[in-house]
Amino acid sequence: MQMKREELSAGATPDAIVERVTTGEVQLPSQDHAHGHGGGMESVREATYRGHHIVVHTTYRLEVDGIPVEGHMGVTNDGQVHYHAVPNLSFASAIDLVRQLIDAFPDDFKAGGHTHEHGQGS
Amino acid sequence: MAAERRNILMDETARKNYIQGLTLLKREFLGPTTADLQLPGPPTPISTYDLFVVWHHYAMETFTPPTQGDRNAAHRGPVFLPWHRFMLVLLELQLQRVLNDATAGLPYWDWAADGEEPAGAQPSSAVWNEDCMGGEGSPVTTGPFAVDPGDPASWRVRVAANVQGQLVQANRGLRRALGQNVADLPTKGDVAAALDLDEYDRPAWSTQSQGFRNRVEGWRPLAGAPGLHNRVHVWVGGDMLPSSSPNDPVFYLNHCNEDRIWAAWQATFPGSPYLPDQTAPAELRGHRIDDDMYSLLTSPVTPRQMLDPSDFYTYDDLQVS
């Protein structure tokens, strides 16, 4: 079922885009990670082995300079940890993951102390 | 007539059109504000270009299904390739509109060609020249996307993900750190290895799958991760690292090349279908062939509708490895 250019372009005019974005037509995911959807820093792994159902709950609590880092973090069944804010990477070590966060978000980790805020940034 | 997508280093017109079109979209404010998109801070007009940044971030924040924290509406699962094809087609339509040229195509960066060079030479590729994407830095100071502190119209990052994974308002120059996080780009051999895989995807439909999609996305082989797509993001670094990575125009050059690799794979294995089909369980909703894909800017389309893009564009060259 090939899509024709006209089919999509008719709905991609400036007026159509503005209407879709400004009328609340699209459900936007919550940005309140620490208290919201997806389980925050708890990761649940499930597997079946010889007819037994395995569930592994893992809860991470990250701090840098005593301040919590509360984005989504997970661990896959191969043991790799990942953090949503650096979506193209996974790590064998959670410590290495946090080192990468410090490098990747210089505005949130000023020299001499952690400065992150929930809100206006950069 | 469909657009033709060309190598940005081989076609001066494609390169100039891309830079001019993005500059126009970055300066175009159709009406939506940050408040419409539930971003914190005072309501601020948001450009057409930046709407795509927001879309990508929100797709990544939409877990599929919401009971788990791995697969999302655009990544870490089968929908990765059709979702990004959809995103690129929509951006291409906007480029064509502001350029008043329905044949203008997004260019691609054949990063595997640069990956054949020694690691130390890769940051010197022509793609980083002043007349192309500009160079690296925090901020980038050369090329069309360099910030000029005295010119408010120069290229500025206006929305960016923070360490908490929230999208927040910003006002700063673009950042790149070429080769700082991983030493080298993927090679043609890496691309060829992906093209050897004749299954599009397979269980567990995740970052641990052994199929073509997961190889192109870059989660496998684990020993070589980050690979292909992921590796290019990480190699460029800076603003290419977070979920707001479309802030860097290199994002689209990278994804256009992955789309080209998918097109080459489709031509190699015409009988190998997109998977999973619609009989897959509901826990794969958002990734099955007839599911709506997450769309911020238009009505949703399905993966099936993105399998044959020939009415939108073709590639000048499918020799990818």
pLDDT tens digits, A95-112: 999 999 999 999 999 866
B226 vs A88: CB contact, 8 Å cut-off? yes
- With H, G, I as helix, E, B as strand and everything else as coil, classify residue B34: coil
pLDDT tens per residue across span B114-135: 999 999 999 999 999 999 999 9
Query: Is the peptide bond prior to B66 cis by the omega test (within 30 degrees of 0)?
Result: no
Q: For chain B, what percent of residues have pLDDT higher than 90?
A: 96
d(CA A117, CA A107): 10
B207 vs A76: CB contact, 8 Å cut-off? yes
What's residue A33's pLDDT? 63
- Nearest-Cα residue of chain A relative to residue B166: A31
A122 vs B48: CB contact, 8 Å cut-off? no
- Quickly tell me which residue has 């082995």 as its tokens: A49
What's residue B227's pLDDT? 97
Contact B26, B98 (CB under 8 A): no
pLDDT tens per residue across span B34-89: 999 999 999 999 999 999 999 999 999 999 988 887 899 999 999 999 999 999 99
Per-residue pLDDT band for A115 (boundaries 50, 70, 90) equals: low
A80 vs B311: CB contact, 8 Å cut-off? no
A74 vs B163: CB contact, 8 Å cut-off? no
Report the candidate in B269, B252, B261 with the shortest Cα–Cα distance to residue B113: B261
- Helix, strand, coil % in chain B, rounded to nearest 5: 35, 10, 55
Please list every residue in chain A whose beta carbon sits closer than 8 Å to the beta carbon of residue B218: 88
What ipTM does this complex have?
Answer: 0.92
To test the contact with chain A by mutation, choose from B29, B62, B67, B164 the residue with the greatest count of A C-beta atoms within 10 A, namely B164
B301 vs A90: CB contact, 8 Å cut-off? no
The answer to whether residue B211 scores a pLDDT higher than 90 is yes
Choose the closest CB to B225 out of A37, A90, A107: A90
Choose the closest CB to A87 out of B75, B90, B97: B75
- Nearest-Cα residue of chain B relative to residue A17: B297
What's residue A38's pLDDT? 42
Contact A75, A43 (CB under 8 A): yes
pLDDT tens per residue across span A42-89: 888 888 999 999 999 999 999 999 999 999 899 998 899 999 889 999
What's residue B175's pLDDT? 98
The answer to whether residue B27 scores a pLDDT higher than 90 is yes
The answer to whether residue A35 scores a pLDDT higher than 80 is no
A17 vs B40: CB contact, 8 Å cut-off? no
- Segment B160-168 mean pLDDT: 95
- Nearest-Cα residue of chain A relative to residue B299: A11
A24 vs B53, which has greater pLDDT?
Answer: B53
pLDDT tens per residue across span B228-285: 999 999 999 999 999 999 999 999 999 999 999 999 999 999 999 999 999 999 999 9
